[in-house]
Structure 1
Amino acid sequence: MNRSLFATLCLAVGLLASAPATAAGGADVHLDAANINLYDQASLQRGARAFITNCLNCHSAQFMRWGHLTQIGLTEDQIKANLMFNPDAKFGDYMTTALDPKDAQSWLGKVPPDLTLAARVRGSDWLYTYLRSYYVDPASPSGWNNEVFPNVGMPHVLHDLQGAYSKVVVGEREVHGKKEPVTKLALDRKGTMSPQEYDAYVRDLVNYMTFMGEPVRAKRIQIGIVVLLFLVVAFFAALVVKKEYWKDVK
């Protein structure tokens, strides 16, 4: 392989590696660690409830079936009684929204995107930070804006829980020879939850959305660990057998 081709391949790999970080909000956006746990079924169940209560009214999860919720420790009866609010929905149906696409286009200006793969596309840390970064913006059509997603179209549907924040200037910094303001979010109106409670609520929601993007992920990781352990044991067993067979060969 010549040097120019090798350099081109290295550049391509570097661009691919940096693409998720750019898509997740850009280099200037600090993302807080979500610290989710896909093995915490109680968290996943709380997150499923939060998703269905707050998100499924406008957004769909059309690649996720209600029956998949049994993988987070819920029974069919529990799912039907506590999560399936549409009496016409069946246990094997996809999790679609009741909002008609034509009505959504008329009322909202566009159809809200499907959220099944949102965590896989954006990343868990991005979602966790995004849902905690809304602030009041009178210049925005919805009255809200977001530090992670500037000029976001979706209003802050969880403001009753989190409260209302405003962006305030706390200083300035020099970037490329120019002075830029340093801002932070300040609480204007308290919500029904404390900041710690809201962070935990969002973490559960993001945990569920991460599960929803790949329901078999936790099981896949478990199987992968078992396979790796088997390969390690098989390697040493093969090494012992090799030494036994070749011990008399000079």
Structure 2
Amino acid sequence: MSLLNKLLAAAALAVTMAGVPMVAQAAGGPALDKAPVRFDDASLQQGAKLFVNYCLSCHGASSVRYNTLTQIGLSEQQIKDNLMFAADKPGEQMMVALRRDDARKWFGVAPPDLSVIARARASEQGSGADWLYTYLRQFYRDDSRPTGWNNVLFPGVGMPHALWGLQGEQEAHFVTKDDGHGNKVTHLESLEIVKPGTLTKEEYDEQVANLVSFITWMGEPGQETRRSMGWLVLAVLSVFAVVSWLLKRAYWKDVH
């Protein structure tokens, strides 16, 4: 992209964001809901299913190969039969089906790769999983946006609500208040489901937790093995420490 095109894109983004009401945030950033992340096979398998069906059409996960999913209890045949819609071999990367040129044309920017998005979104307000969990539950209808959707956590987001069929359509209720410094700040008062989806609120939250767990797992598929190995190393070192202390006591007992 040329420098001129970059400047034009930045200007367009600035103009777009200028029309978005400022949502009040707590000091240091928005409040995030705690994500109930789980790394058991059942949760990760359900999250993988959601990711392939709802995310992979636009977002890739190029750092992960399909056969990596054998680590969450799936066989290669199950992966081929149920999850491989955009690849031919299990050793292929989980690449996006959408062409980047088409994505730029439709959304203004190519959707980001999600391999390490959970790490990228980590902040002092919470983990990247917390950010994703909050984000995926705070879409609401907004006819002023090109996609018809907006997001409380990410005002002016270009992404439509991919999971709206599950969650339903929410309506956001905002109130404008003075922040004490003469500035008018828009506060979210409530989010209300005005058109139900196929899932109840509790069921939807559960499915989002599964999806976020899988996306978090993708950032480091070997993390559970690493943690288990870490506990084993600590246990071995503890045994050696006791043995070393006993040897020292036996060696020096006649000296003292």
- Relative to the length of structure 2, the TM-score reads 0.82
Distance 1:117 1:26, change over 3 A: farther
Deviations, residues 94-152 of structure 1 (Å, cap 9, x unaligned): 01112122222222222111111111211111111110011112222222111111111
Distance 1:157 1:26, change over 3 A: farther
> In structure 1, which of residues 214, 222, 225 is the aligned counterpart of residue 228 of structure 2?
222
1:237 aligns with 2:238: no
Q: Check conservation: 2:32, 2:130, Cα contact below 8 A.
A: yes
Deviations, residues 196-231 of structure 1 (Å, cap 9, x unaligned): 000000000011111111000011000001111111
1-structure distance, mates of 2:107, 2:150: 16
Displacement after TM superposition at 1:172 (Å): 5.2
Structure 1 unmatched runs, 5+: 1-24
Distance 1:144 1:175, change over 3 A: farther
2-structure distance, mates of 1:190, 1:125: 24
Partner of 1:58, secondary structure, is: coil
2-structure distance, mates of 1:223, 1:26: 39
2-structure distance, mates of 1:216, 1:96: 20
Q: Check conservation: 2:137, 2:205, Cα contact below 8 A.
A: yes
Match of 1:17 in 2: none
Partner of 1:239, secondary structure, is: helix
Match of 1:81 in 2: 81
Partner of 1:166, secondary structure, is: strand
> In structure 2, which of residues 192, 204, 214 is the aligned counterpart of residue 208 of structure 1?
214
Match of 1:31 in 2: 32
1-structure distance, mates of 2:202, 2:164: 15
Distance 1:134 1:237, change over 3 A: same
2-structure distance, mates of 1:67, 1:247: 58
Matching residue's letter, 1:72: I
Displacement after TM superposition at 1:175 (Å): 5.1
Match of 1:16 in 2: none
Residue correspondences, number? 224
Q: Check conservation: 2:142, 2:148, Cα contact below 8 A.
A: yes
Distance 1:41 1:106, change over 3 A: same
Which moved further from structure 2: 199-208 or 129-138? 129-138
Match of 2:53 in 1: 53
- Correspondence 1:102-113 to 2 at 5 A: 102-113=101-112
| RMSD, aligned CA | 2.0
Partner of 2:62, secondary structure, is: strand
Structure 2 unmatched runs, 5+: 1-25, 122-127
- Relative to the length of structure 1, the TM-score reads 0.83
1-structure distance, mates of 2:181, 2:248: 63
Deviations, residues 23-45 of structure 1 (Å, cap 9, x unaligned): xx98231111112121x100000
Displacement after TM superposition at 1:180 (Å): 4.2
Partner of 2:241, secondary structure, is: helix
Match of 1:153 in 2: 158
- Correspondence 1:34-183 to 2 at 5 A: 34-38=35-39, 40-86=40-86, 89-122=88-121, 123-169=128-174, 174=179, 180-182=185-187, 183=189
Deviations, residues 55-113 of structure 1 (Å, cap 9, x unaligned): 00011111110010000000011000111123x52111101112122222222222111
Distance 1:167 1:175, change over 3 A: farther
Match of 1:191 in 2: 197
